[in-house]
Amino acid sequence: GQQLNQSPQSMFIQEGEDVSMNCTSSSIFNTWLWYKQDPGEGPVLLIALYKAGELTSNGRLTAQFGITRKDSFLNISASIPSDVGIYFCAGRPFGNEKLTFGTGTRLTIIP
């Protein structure tokens, strides 16, 4: 089935640094979403994107729906300790009703 590849797989950064991660697919997507999962919890929706080129912010988080409709990006500015977790992209492929999740990016903040 459809797969979404996230990059990088893991990140080790210092507090205060900016973070960038992306998600790519081999086919066109109509919707992109970004979730964050804390240990022992369910994924929490961060940002939803519905149009190619759309740029949406949620506090220090900014996500973009790629122009080609085959990718999406998430940036986190001035990281803080509570940003630690696994970030998942998710998308709805064109012509498909199901949401497909990416492989996840694990963010760790080094003291």
Burial class (CB in 10 A: 0-12, 13-18, 19+), 97: exposed
The answer to whether residues 91 and 29 touch, using CB atoms and an 8 Å cutoff, is yes
Sole binder of other proteins in the list 34, 65, 73, 88 (CB under 8 A): 88
SS3 content of the chain, % helix, strand, coil (to 5): 5, 60, 40
Of 20-28, 29-37, 60-68, 73-81, which segment contacts other proteins by CB under 8 A? Answer: 29-37
Antiparallel, parallel or unpaired: β 10-14 and 105-110: parallel
Contact code string over 31-70 relative to other proteins, x by CB under 8 A: x-x-x-x--xxxxxx--x----------------------
Q: Give yes or no for residue 86 binding other proteins (CB under 8 A).
A: yes
User: What is the maximal distance between C-alpha atoms in the chain?
Assistant: 45
Query: Does 11 participate in binding other proteins (rule CB under 8 A)?
Result: no
Site residues, other proteins (CB under 8 A): 31, 33, 35, 37, 40-45, 48, 86, 88, 90, 92, 97-99, 101, 103-104
